[in-house]
Amino acid sequence: MWDVAEELKAMLVFAEHRYYGESLPFGDNSFKDSRHLNFLTSEQALADFAELIKHLKRTIPGAENQPVIAIGGSYGGMLAAWFRMKYPHMVVGALAASAPIWQFEDLVPCGVFMKIVTTDFRKSGPHCSESIHRSWDAINRLSNT
């Protein structure tokens, strides 16, 4: 994205998710209780990003009619994809890497992902999937100490 942004003379903006880093909506009380934590949701983050885009388009000369593409990986990728779905009028596209946006129990059984991954590791080498499977006991044991 760095190379492409430079080539296209595009602006890259990294928005900080509320409750992370310095974006604490209630200052030192942000994590105090559920009343304050009620605003720590992906829906709220998407609304924040929509407001940020509107603000940037209003305040940066020449930005008003420029297209926006949401980009992210993992949870950020999920947010990018959800942003495109919820605010299609604000972004022309979304690039979502490693973003399991449909991995919800009522849509796709959780075991499906593990079956696909296991099949991939079986193909990658002898005993690979078995070694990874056995490692979970060690991981669980170590994470409990």
Domain boundaries, the chain: 1-101, 104-144
State the pLDDT at residue 105: 64
Q: Determine the distance from the C-alpha atom of residue 28 to the mean position of all C-alpha atoms in its chain, rounded to a whole number.
A: 25
Task: Please give the pLDDT value at position 100.
Answer: 78
What pLDDT does 80 receive? 96
For 34-59, write each residue's pLDDT tens digit: 788 888 889 999 999 999 999 999 99
Q: 71-103: per-residue pLDDT in tens?
A: 999 889 999 999 999 999 999 999 999 887 766
Pairing status of strand 93-97 against strand 69-73: parallel
pLDDT tens-place string over residues 5-30: 999 999 999 999 999 989 999 999 99
Q: How far is CA 20 from the centre of its chain?
A: 13
Q: Which helix (H) or strand (E) holds 95?
A: strand 93-97
Q: Is the pLDDT of residue 120 over 80?
A: no
Q: What is the pLDDT of residue 104?
A: 63
What SS3 state is found at 15?
coil
For the stretch 101-108, contacts whose Cβ atoms lie closer than 8 Å and that sit 24 or more positions apart, written own/partner, are: 101/77
Distances (CA, A) of 119 to 112, 115, 122, 127, 130: 11, 6, 5, 12, 11
Please determine, for residue 124, whether its predicted confidence score (pLDDT) is greater than 80.
no
